[in-house]
Chain A
Amino acid sequence: MLRRVSPERHLRLSLALAALFLATGLWLEAMIGLRLGGWVDDPLRREFLRLGHAHGGLLALLNLGLGLALERLGTPDPWARAIRPAALLGALLVGLGFIVGGLWHGPTDPGLPVLVVPAGALMLLGALVAGALVRRGDRRPGSSV
């Protein structure tokens, strides 16, 4: 699905991602309000759920901006087709990596799923850098066309 992310789908998925991670905020609020065990008594989990909620929500909004920017800048299609899925997947991995790593964590560190956070961050970073550098008339790297 991510291989065929049209500009419209990028914007829709960005909004969906923002909704998903903002909804986790409701969950966190409920846990605070209900003083649920495993939340109030687990600072590590609390920290990583907050990180996932905040990063996921903000990076979804960043995707929204990036989707609009790619159209406005006229980024060549071969690049835009790679940038959009990278940015979306990156935001998803960062947000989910924090959340899942926080839900199932060890005594002093988050769980193994947190390892996808740097991977997601690298994708998103690459997408932003490419969006900033690639110009309207640029060719695909290595291409003679």
Chain B
Amino acid sequence: MTRSLLRRAGPGLWLFGPALAWLAVAVLGLIWTAREPGAWAPIDRRAGGLAGSSSCVACHPAQATSWRRSYHRTMTQPASGAAVLAPFAGESLLYQGFRATMTRSNFGLPHLRVESVEGGAPLLDLDVALTVGSHRYQQYVARVDRGGGPGELWRLPVAWHLGERRWIPMNAAFLEPEGEPGDADDYLRHFSRWNDNCILCHNTEPVPGLSDRSHGTGPEGQAWFASRVGEFGIACEACHGPAGAHVARQADPARRLLGGAGDPAIADPGRMTPRAESGACGRCHGNRIAADVAAVLRAGDGFLPGEDLAARSRPIFADSRVGGSDETPFATRFWPDGTPRLSAYEYQGLLQSPCYQDGQAGGLGCNHCHDMHGERPDMQVRAGRAGQAACAGCHALDPGHGGHGAAIDCQGCHMPRITYGLLEGMISHRISSPDPGAWVGRHDQPDACTQCHVDRSRRWAAEQLPQLGLAGTAAGEEASEEAWAPRVLLDLHGGDPVQRGLAAHALARPEVPVPATTRLAWLVDALEDGYPAVRWMAWRAMQRLAAGQGMDPKLSELIIAYDPHAEAATRLPAVDALRARLGPGPLAEERRLALEARQDASLLSIGE
């Protein structure tokens, strides 16, 4: 029969037969896959295990390319090759009576040695194992067994600042007073364990691996770490969840050809509700308290992107309490109205914003403004959503606002830079409308208006609102000093450390309508601040202002000659030289001292 068929078909069978056979097989394969429940049904994502970012590249090359450009990828890296951004070529950093020297070991590994200037055995003498961060500053982590086993890793007390290309003490990156010179405990205040801290938000699928039983050579009852991560840094599976099941399913080409509607075996934040997709970001960009801390330290947080984050942990707010205590240990991380004032609380800011709308469809989520796979890694703002475009989809842009739209975008007023993080002033993620009149007479929180109009008071700002066609509370009674100094100067001299740092940062913003030379003269006082982080912010603000067009080059030299981390005896001559160049500060001596006296009452010690 076959021979007969061949005879009848002739050349046509030879020439068209294979193609028809292929099409038949392809169609049957598509039908089979379309009817196969295993190819489509929801699946236990965790059971499929991790696949690693390398398994994503073949199908998602554009996303892999944008991720490779991101600071997420380089959040944590083994300390070798191009991952190490600092020279480690013999630089040294003298701080608080200790000298840190950064070199290379015989094997070329980055190496840190810390010694007291008074001699004696080195405080630290370690090879660097991991790098953390690559955007603003890079921190370093070394393997040190301090009783937690050979897997214990510790964050080192110095970091490399990328903008300034210089070493900084980690103590000076925290908002806290300087310790006692020569005190090793003070110097190592932030020599903190990686295994139960950094690992959690700087890696993919982290497992701290803490156990409290004897393990190998570990003593009985001693905390013992067998930490592991799915992948160093924030890789694909940090936001999309474990991809093993997805990769296995998508190995079938028919499944891929038919699968335009997505795959429940993998989480895609782009298809989630604002609540769910923001939860995937809030896992790290919103400090939180785990429902079961011991379980997290043992085996990780167990959160899968797409699940309800609140089921695993609760975000920290100003009134959050721990363990049934009445104390509110996190209150200093928030402004009095509950707005977060530190970075890594962006999720809380979003939750507090009216635009969030409880995370329902149509509400605002992180994805609206941010795109993890966009062109620019810096801030990862979604294309077409920068500035006013972020708000234009829901809000008709009011041409009024007194012409503010031409000078500043929506975020300038509705997401002011009242957040401190990583030695910078950052925008608040709590979207709100300024109401300066309501805060007249108060010194405990900066407002959007006077962070830009740095030469004005809150009363002035409140009086401007009606002229701009905007509603606001009528100004109440001013505190006496509000009559003789603008708000930012009051903060710079008499605010708490966060206010002082943010005031310094505000004075250098390019949109500020006050001459740069005036602002430079105001900033000099902050170079004598007791907090190294505030001095650093004032110093950087002065550098930015002095780099402007038409500025005196000698001024930049004087600013560069100042070192915010040097001991006071070294710093003060540089401050005097700047004062001589820029003229006296804006406040009379007795007023300045009266404001600075308030600083003692606002001592803070809060993290990055």
Contact = CB atoms under 8 A, between A and B. Distances in A.
A122 B19 CA distance: 6
Contacts of B295: none
Interface in B8-41: 8, 10-12, 14-16, 18-20, 22-23, 26, 30
A133 to B, nearest CB: 10
Interface size class of A (residues with CB under 8 A): 20 to 34
A123 interface: yes
Interface string A112-125: 10111011101100
Contact of A109 (B15, B20, B26, B253): B253
A126 B18 contact: yes
Interface in A89-145: 90, 106-112, 114-116, 118-120, 122-123, 126-127, 130, 140-143
Nearest to B4: A142
A19 interface: no
13 contacts: A81-B11, A108-B59, A109-B59, A112-B257, A112-B258, A115-B23, A118-B19, A120-B19, A123-B18, A130-B11, A141-B6, A142-B7, A143-B10
A93 B161 CA distance: 58
Best-buried of B6, B15, B22, B62 by chain A (most CB within 10 Å) = B15
B113 interface: no
B260 A106 contact: yes
A115 B18 CA distance: 14
Contacts of A43: 61-62
Contact of B15 (A106, A115, A130, A143): A130
Contacts of A22: none
A39 interface: no
B62 A141 contact: no
A142 B3 contact: yes
A141 B11 contact: yes
A78 B15 CA distance: 12
Given A43-B62, A141-B6, A143-B10, A123 B256 contact: no
B15 A123 contact: yes
Given A108-B60, A115-B257, A142 B6 contact: yes
Contact of A122 (B7, B18, B60, B262): B18
A43 B60 CA distance: 10
A86 interface: yes
Rank and list the top 5 A-B pairs by shortest CB-CB distance, nearest first. Answer: A142-B7, A82-B11, A119-B19, A86-B15, A108-B59
A126 B16 CA distance: 8
Given A119-B19, A119-B23, A127-B15, A141 B257 contact: no
Contacts of B336: none
A144 to B, nearest CB: 9
A49 interface: no
Given A114-B257, A122-B18, A122-B19, 11 more contacts: A81-B11, A108-B60, A108-B256, A112-B257, A118-B19, A118-B22, A122-B22, A141-B6, A141-B7, A141-B10, A143-B10
B583 interface: no
B219 interface: no
A82 B23 contact: no
Given A112-B257, A115-B257, A86 B16 contact: yes
A109 B11 contact: no
Contacts of A130: 11, 14-15
B573 interface: no
Contacts of B250: 108
A66 interface: no
Nearest to B13: A141
Contacts of B59: 108-109
Nearest to A43: B62
A140 B20 CA distance: 21
B259 interface: yes
Contacts of B7: 141-143
Contacts of B23: 115-116, 119
Nearest to A47: B61
Contacts of B257: 106, 109-112, 114-115
A96 B38 CA distance: 32
Interface string B458-499: 000000000000000000000000000000000000000000
A43 B10 CA distance: 43
